[in-house]
Structure 1
Amino acid sequence: MGSGGSGLGLHVVHNIVSGVLGGSIDLESEPGKGSTFGPRLPAIAPGS
C-alpha cells in the first residue's frame, strides 16, 4: 500500500481497446525516462 499502483487500470484499458474497440496499444519505454502508451484504433469499431 502507498508504494504505487497494481497495474490493473492498464489491464482494463487493454481489454477495452483490444477487445471492444478492435485496436491495439503501442508502448515506448526508455530506462530512466519513463514510458509512453499510444492507442491505435480502427475508424469503425468491430460490430458497428
Structure 2
Amino acid sequence: MGGRNQHHSESPEAYFAHTPGLRVLCPSGPHDAYDLLGRSHGRPRRARHR
C-alpha cells in the first residue's frame, strides 16, 4: 500500500490549539461568531478567528 500518507500538515488546528496563550474560537453559527468576536476584542490575549 505504498503512496498513502496522512495529511496532518493540511490541518493546522493542532498547532493553534497547542500554542500557549492563544485562544481558538470555533463558533457553531453566525450568532455565536458575533458574540465571540465581540468578546475577544476586549481581551489582552491573542485570538484566532476561524
Q: TM-score, normalised on structure 1?
A: 0.30
Higher relative contact order (CA 8 A, sep 6+): 2
Structure possessing the higher radius of gyration over alpha carbons: 2
Q: TM-score, normalised on structure 2?
A: 0.29
